[in-house]
Amino acid sequence: MKVTINDVAKYAGVSIKTVSRVTNNEPSVKQSTIDKVNEAIAELDYQPNLAARNLAGAKSYVIGFIYDNPNAYYVIDMQNGILSSCKDLGYELLIHPCNAKADNICDELTTLVKHARLAGLVLTPPLSEDPKILQALDNIDANYVRIIAGEKVDNDTGLAVLVNDKHGAISITQHLIDLGHKNIAFLSGDQHHESTKARLSGYTQALRDNNLKVDEHNIVAGEYSFESGVTGAKTLLKRANRPTAIVACNDEIAAGALFAARLEGIDIPNDISIVGFEDSPFSRQTWPKLTTVHQPNQKIAQMATELLIAKRREPKSAQAKIFIPEPIIRDSSAKVS
According to DSSP, residue 269 is labeled T
What is the enclosing helix (H) or strand (E) of 3? none
Query: SS3 for 64?
Result: strand
Residue 226: pLDDT band (50, 70, 90) is very high
Most confident region among 11-25, 67-81, 164-178 by mean pLDDT = 164-178
Query: Is 59 a residue whose pLDDT tops 70?
Result: no
Sheet holding 321-323, edge to edge: 92-97, 62-67, 120-123, 144-149, 160-163, 321-323
Q: How high does pLDDT run on average in the chain?
A: 89
Query: SS3 for 273?
Result: strand
Q: Which amino acid, 110?
A: T
Residue 49 is predicted with a pLDDT of 58
Residue 55 is predicted with a pLDDT of 44
Query: What are the pLDDT digits (tens) for 238-255?
Result: 998 999 999 999 999 999
Most confident region among 34-38, 113-117, 227-231 by mean pLDDT = 227-231
Query: What are the pLDDT digits (tens) for 307-332?
Result: 999 888 776 666 788 999 999 999 99
Question: 250 versus 20: which is more confidently predicted?
Answer: 250
Given a contact cutoff of 8 angstroms between Cβ atoms, the answer to whether 299 and 238 are in contact is: no
Residue 28 is predicted with a pLDDT of 67
| Mean pLDDT of all residues in 58-63 | 75
Residues 6+ apart with CB under 8 A from 327: 168, 171, 172, 175, 275, 291, 292, 293, 294
CA distance 275 to 255: 9
Beta-bridge partner residues of 184: 245
Query: What are the pLDDT digits (tens) for 132-175?
Result: 999 999 999 999 999 999 988 777 778 999 999 999 999 999 99
Residue 27 is predicted with a pLDDT of 61
According to DSSP, residue 193 is labeled S
Q: Which domains does the chain have, with CATH numbers?
A: 5-48 (1.10.260.40), 62-163+297-324 (3.40.50.2300), 165-295 (3.40.50.2300)
Query: What are the pLDDT digits (tens) for 176-187?
Result: 999 999 999 999
Residue 25 is predicted with a pLDDT of 64
| Cα atoms in the 13 Å half-sphere on the side-chain side of 334 | 11
Query: What are the pLDDT digits (tens) for 261-291?
Result: 999 999 999 999 999 999 988 899 899 999 9
Residue 50: pLDDT band (50, 70, 90) is low
* CA dihedral of residues 100, 72, 87, 313 (deg, nearest 10): -30
Question: 118 versus 168: which is more confidently predicted?
Answer: 168
What burial class does residue 3 get, using C-beta atoms within 10 Å of its C-beta: 0-12 exposed, 13-18 middle, 19+ buried?
middle
Percent of the chain with pLDDT over 70: 93
Number of Cβ within 10 Å of residue 221's Cβ equals 14
Query: Is 69 a residue whose pLDDT tops 80?
Result: no
Given a contact cutoff of 8 angstroms between Cβ atoms, the answer to whether 209 and 312 are in contact is: no
